[in-house]
Amino acid sequence: MPPLHAMFVHAHPDDESSKGAATMARYAKEGYRISVVTLTDGGAGEILNPAMDRPGILERMTQIRQEELERALQILGVTDHFDLGYADSGYVENFDGDGSRLAPDCFFNVPIDEPVQRLVAIVRRVQPDVLVTYPEGGGYPHPDHIRCHDVAVAAYHAAADPSAYPQAGAPWTVRKLYYVGAFNRRKVEALHTACLARGIESPFTGWLERWDPDETDPSTTHVDVGEYLAQRSQALLAHATQIDPDGMWFTVPDDVVQQVYPYEDFELAHAHVDTQIPEDSLFAGLE
């Protein structure tokens, strides 16, 4: 039997290292097949690490971000990478879905059938068992994250439909669809409490003050990644233009995270197999 295969669909270079990265590292180490689809080139990214604010960096941002991505994927042990290469739409404050505020040729403004068909062709060719992407709304209101959700979910369903995109290959049913959750209230509260107990300035104070007390956690699946947090951090640091080693991502040391909340959380959005909730694996019900 070939190894089970999980495909992670992301908007930009660096997203694969900040959302579900330790899970990918764990599964790759355990012999599963792990693939990443990157939808955009990251060319609209700004220099977020002061150490990289040097002449010539911004002018070569697309090339540099591709090089950073290659290093991060190697660190995580990703076995397959598919780069669709659409133009980064850029972040827009208070984005309301109005594509007229964006470049006409950016990813968000590409007719959605085009990237869906391309992703369907990849899914049918490499036949993942699990597909992971962002929740509805993208997880946060970046145009590319919003469209990433739309494209990935449409491709998940269309790949199994013989009448959809027949030119994209023979149908393939991906058996589970997940949304990745970088943070939920339970995780944030645990890390915040751990910071206060250890005399670490918590980066989560403002988050908790703004959090809707009535918001529920949709997570269904909690993957123990304590042994792979350092690998995730190394992958993040590979994105040197985007990740400041003195920034909030590294305020809470990995060993503290491992002690208080060594999990990455996912929401099972759709499944063609029976499984019991809560799960401790993306492959629950498949093995």
Arithmetic mean of pLDDT over the chain: 96
What is residue 182's predicted lDDT score, i.e. its pLDDT?
76
Report CA 270 to chain centroid distance, whole Å.
Answer: 18
Whole-number Cα distances in Å, 218 to 154, 158, 205, 256, 282: 21, 25, 22, 25, 15
What is residue 256's predicted lDDT score, i.e. its pLDDT?
96
Question: 1 pLDDT exceeds 80?
Answer: no
| Cα–Cα distance, 178 to 284 (Å, whole number) | 12
pLDDT digits (tens, 9 = 90+) for 67-123: 999 999 999 999 999 999 999 999 999 898 999 999 999 999 999 999 999 999 999
pLDDT digits (tens, 9 = 90+) for 197-210: 999 999 998 888 88
Planar angle of CA 159, 18, 232, nearest 5 degrees: 110
**Residue range 248-259: mean pLDDT, rounded:** 93
Residue 230 tokens read as 């350092």
What pTM, to 2 d.p., does this model score?
Answer: 0.96
| Cα–Cα distance, 73 to 260 (Å, whole number) | 27
User: DSSP labels for 173-215?
Assistant: ---EEEEEES--HHHHHHHHHHHHHHTPPPTTHHHHHHS-TTP
What is residue 249's predicted lDDT score, i.e. its pLDDT?
82
Whole-number Cα distances in Å, 62 to 44, 86, 230: 8, 11, 26
- 5-182+218-271 CATH pick, 2.120.10.30, 3.40.50.10320, 3.40.50.2300, 3.40.50.10860: 3.40.50.10320
Domain boundaries, the chain: 5-182+218-271
